[in-house]
Structure 1
């Protein structure tokens, strides 16, 4: 993890301060930026989102999908958490905390929008930072790569239906045309562009050339993210100043769902007997969110000044410290994990197979 990424939360806080201050100082400029739309797509933000997402997708090698069968237990657990649990658990937590427990402390006209933002945040699994979390937990790199590649493929077809279903259940009008346009603009097109760039660079210079390109693109991606946050908080400044507890309130369901989903994935992997080097990144992938896509979709669907956009930004704010705490937990509990009966059984079987192979070679 680079120094910039390690202190992402601090940078986000600075963006909040800068955005609020600039929004009050230059309201006309921010209104002009917010009005630069074509077919409900904000052009400045669309460019920034592409600069965020495409460098992350260039890292993904979709040929890794061939390795899925080698880690089918961990893959199965993570897919179950990502697509059958996390969006629905977040929606339930949003309805409970935002729609009921903390409702008296929130602007009544934004409650549905806050819930929508939380749903968008949980509806897509993380693509880029997962590699950092996996590395910090000594995760199996081939599993992480194949899991991320598979999630990206599923996201192309599953993101819109899941979001549409949960927004509908929340009694929020689903702007299907805008939702599908967001999927095309912020998932399908970036995936295509990223893979074309990746193959072109690999064919021209191999892995060293790709590594050099990623080294140049990563800072650009983070700068684009922070610029987008400044714009968002420029529009949200008045609301935040009027209701300073909003961010803390929105953080509550996000924190609960991160620990719940990572813990559930970790436990299910232990029950199935998966190795710790697979269970750790599985838990981390199951808990983290593709917040760049969530921010883009929230702006497209509900606008810059919406509660949905603010809710997704809270996910950015707490992403790094919360996920680092999950990394520490899975690292600290490795001994407990490997003492699980199913894990020990599989380790014994693997040991016997390795010994038999060695004997056959020596014989």
Structure 2
């Protein structure tokens, strides 16, 4: 009896330790500290607080440039990198680099040893590669039954899983950047393999649109350039500056990250300006088509996000991971979608127009959903570390 009483605390401690290893809790402060006690608006930095304003201004500037500056599109298309104009490529690389510098790559091997991570990755794969693309396909047919070209562009957007902007939305919403980096890496690899056959299956087999074949090389090169280059640079930067004691953890996580963080917003706004400058005339001259494409996109972003957030809450995911899951599911890689649409159907095609409308709707919608996620987490008292 005495032995049983003595060993019981040890057994309980061992069980608690095993349970802790099975859980994946974001390596940060509790939800209240992560989101802050004040409103979502006030808890954001000055630049992020008015991000919607900057984005709308960038869109307006781009459309004005595209419509009133002679030969704007021709000038932007003089140099291309993996089918995308060089200015857009530069903007994307600048946007990605600071965010990826924050990811704790040195801790990823520990995260992959946690069983619950694999459950969450499996959940993400189902939502991203089965539910979301088929939902976009259904919306494309429901809203655009008489417009096969616009419908094809919308389907392409649904197949391009996000590998860039989701890092920004996750950071603003108080999500888990490390887990987001894992999903970004997985989706990037899967896009190289799955994008082309899924495009053929969705467009030719299901829709019967008889679209031209998609290039595996184009998708693989696009992902390799727009994710591989900034991620490689970020890993090298973090290894040299933080872990080789050039700066050390304190200066790196403090001053260096603070110094380069504004580059993400600068890269985003520059990319939006150039993107809309290149397609500005089409956006204005085909306003009816823009509105018809915008409607299913808005429904897609809102529904996928809301359903994913609700399901993850019911499953017991902690808030940072749930937010990351929701934004990953709702976001799309509009840069890749535009590049593929232009390379396959041409710059002035309706497919390219539909892909270009993607960021016009996605950016303000997902920014609004950042506030929704933060409000919901605070309203329901969403805690971290809930067990499945």
CA change 1:234–1:267 in 2 (3 A) is closer
Displacement of 1:209: 1.9
Matches of 1:322 and 1:40 in 2, distance apart?
A: 31
Which residue, 91, 111, 129 being the options, matches 2:137? 91
* Deviations 1:239-266 (CA, angstroms, capped at 9, x unpaired): 2222334444333333333333333333
Q: Tell me: CA distance 1:125–1:238, structure 2 relative to 1, closer, same or farther (3 Å).
A: closer
Which stretch of the first structure deviates more once superposed, 58-67 or 264-273?
264-273
Residue aligning to 1:170: 203
Note the alpha carbon deviations across 1:129-180, whole angstroms, 9 max, x for none: 30221x2xxx6xxxx2442132133123102233223321223431322222
Q: 1:240 aligns with which of 283, 289, 314?
A: 283
Residue 313 (structure 1) aligned with residue 356 (structure 2): no
> TM-score scaled by structure 1?
0.75
Change (3 A) 1:7 1:181: same
Question: Which region of structure 1 is more displaced relative to structure 2, 72-81 or 153-162?
Answer: 72-81
Residue in 1 aligned with 2:233? 193
Which one of 236, 244, 267 corresponds to residue 224 of structure 1? 267
Aligned residues: 326
State the alpha-carbon separation in 2 of the partners of residues 300 and 214 from structure 1. 36
- Specify the alignment match of 1:265 in structure 2: 308
Change (3 A) 1:156 1:191: same
Q: Is the 8 A contact 1:118 1:312 kept in 2?
A: no
Structure 1 residue 212 displacement after superposition = 2.3
Cross-structure match for 1:52? 95
Q: CA deviation at 1:51?
A: 0.9
1:37 counterpart residue number? 80
SS at match of 2:71: helix
TM value normalised by structure 2: 0.71
Q: Select which of 253, 257, 260 maps to 1:214.
A: 257
Q: Per-residue deviation at 1:310?
A: 1.0
Counterpart in the other structure of 2:299: 256
In structure 2, the residue matched to 1:327 is: 374
1:27 aligned counterpart, secondary structure: coil
Aligned partners of 2:161 and 2:331 also within 8 Å: no
* Distance in structure 2 (CA, Å) of the matches to 1:175 and 1:261: 28
The CA distance in 2 between the partners of 1:313 and 1:3, in whole Å, is 23
1:355: which partner in 2?
none
**Which runs of no fewer than 5 residues in structure 1 stay unpaired?**
348-363
TM-aligned CA deviation for residue 226 of structure 1: 1.5
Residue 21 of structure 2: aligned partner: none
1:265-309 CA-partner distances (Å, limit 9, x unpaired): 334334434445654544344434455665666666666652254
CA distance in 2, matches of 1:322, 1:200: 36
Q: Distance in 2 between matches of 1:302 and 1:197?
A: 39
Paired with 2:259 and 2:278, the residues of 1 have a C-alpha distance of 30
Higher helix share: 1
Given that 1:9 and 1:320 are in contact with CA atoms closer than 8 Å, whether structure 2 keeps it comes out as: yes
**CA-to-partner distance for each residue in 1:74-111, whole Å, 9 max, x for gaps?**
454334323443233333323432x32xx56xxx6544
> Who is 2:192 aligned against?
160
C-alpha distance in structure 2 between counterparts of 1:109 and 1:184, whole Å: 28
RMSD of aligned residue pairs (Cα, Å): 3.3
Matched, 1:20 2:63: yes
Alignment map for 1:59-74 (pairs within 5 Å): 59-65=102-108, 66-68=110-112, 69=114, 71-72=116-117, 73-74=119-120
Would the alpha carbon gap of residues 247 and 322 (structure 1) be closer, same or farther in structure 2, given more than 3 Å must change? farther
Task: Answer whether contact 2:91 2:268 (CA < 8 A) is retained.
Answer: yes
* Alpha-carbon distance change, 225 to 280 in structure 1, aligned in 2, over 3 angstroms: closer
